[in-house]
Structure 1
Amino acid sequence: MRASTRRARRTARVEYTLPRKAASARWARQLTTGFLIGSRTPPEAAGRLDEAQLVVSELVTNATRYGRGRCRLRLSTSAGRITVEVRDDGVGMPVMRRPGLESESGRGMTLVHGLARRLNVSAAPGGGKTVRAVLDAA
């Protein structure tokens, strides 16, 4: 067997449009896995697969639960970073809450904030927002 001579690109980017359905978070995790272990992304990106899947799952869940219509998932890798962006047409902004000990939800944005090197939310022209989380890939 011969080793591949194809080198991973320094940067790679994909974008997906997902329906407003509960299953979209599962689909987004699968798409993230395919992207990060693919031959076009740096090998170190696959080492952060679990963290990236969790961030993607939380952001897509929020977009499909609180947004209106479809959401857009954009994944990119560059210079030791994985960037996850989720855009939706919802009017509300994400909030980090302090859920009670018995609460079954409300921890998602806190988890994302803890995993991301940088987390920001920007209002989109014409309505909606984009939530961007940047993770270290090394």
Structure 2
Amino acid sequence: MRAQRRTHGRSVRVEYLLLDEAASAGRARGLTSKFLARSRVRTGAAPAEIDDVRLVVSELVANATQHGRSACRLRLHVSEERVTVEVYDDSPLPPRVRPFTADGERGRGLAMVRCLAQRLDVAAVTGGGKRVRAVLALSS
């Protein structure tokens, strides 16, 4: 895992390279918590909003490690008004929401992300793969 941090005025960015393994989702949650706590930008985010960001990160990284074939990248960008979560993986297939079933234990992550995020989009990246981006508004 590698990290890279940049500061731009009233926003801060960081990027992590995460291994292609199931434990990466939990690791990403922890890294997100630490990054948001140490961020120079004072978001005034409520604990519930931080939990929402952690959940989005966890779901998107879990999808990337499950469906990708190699390491994934997690980028976080925090400003006073929002947190942007971007996850890059090498799979060209877009994520999809599965139908809910009463006994289903999988396939609900992307639906949760859609509910929590102000915006969710997927884009192909040069060289193959995709970027999944979720933007979460903060109540400052």
State the Cα distance separating 1:45 from its structure 2 match. 3.6
* Corresponding residue number in structure 1 for 2:131: 130
State the Cα distance separating 1:38 from its structure 2 match. 1.1
Could you say which structure has the higher strand fraction? 2
* Corresponding residue number in structure 2 for 1:82: 83
Could you tell me whether the CA contact under 8 Å between 1:37 and 1:43 is conserved in 2?
no
* Corresponding residue number in structure 1 for 2:64: 63
Partner Cα distance (2:44, 2:120) in 1: 21
Q: Which has the larger radius of gyration?
A: 1
> What TM-score comes out, normalization by structure 1 length?
0.89
More displaced stretch, 46-55 vs 67-76: 46-55
**Secondary structure of 1:121's match?**
strand
Partner Cα distance (2:110, 2:39) in 1: 30
Per-residue deviation, residues 12-51 of structure 1 (Å, max 9, x unmatched): 1000000001100010000000011114132424642100
Corresponding position: 1:99 with 2:88: no
> What TM-score comes out, normalization by structure 2 length?
0.88
Spell out the pairing of 1:3-82 with structure 2 (5 A cutoff).
10-45=10-45, 47=47, 48-82=49-83
* Corresponding residue number in structure 2 for 1:6: none
What is the Cα-based RMSD across aligned positions, in Å? 1.3
Structure 2: where are the runs of 5+ without partners?
A: 1-8
State the Cα distance separating 1:78 from its structure 2 match. 1.9
Give 1:30's aligned amino acid. G
Q: Structure 1 pair 125/82, CA: closer, same or farther in 2 (3 Å)?
A: same
Number of matched pairs: 130
State the Cα distance separating 1:54 from its structure 2 match. 0.3
**Secondary structure of 2:127's match?**
coil
Q: Percent identity?
A: 52
State the Cα distance separating 1:91 from its structure 2 match. 2.1
Could you tell me whether the CA contact under 8 Å between 1:60 and 1:73 is conserved in 2?
yes
Give 1:72's aligned amino acid. R
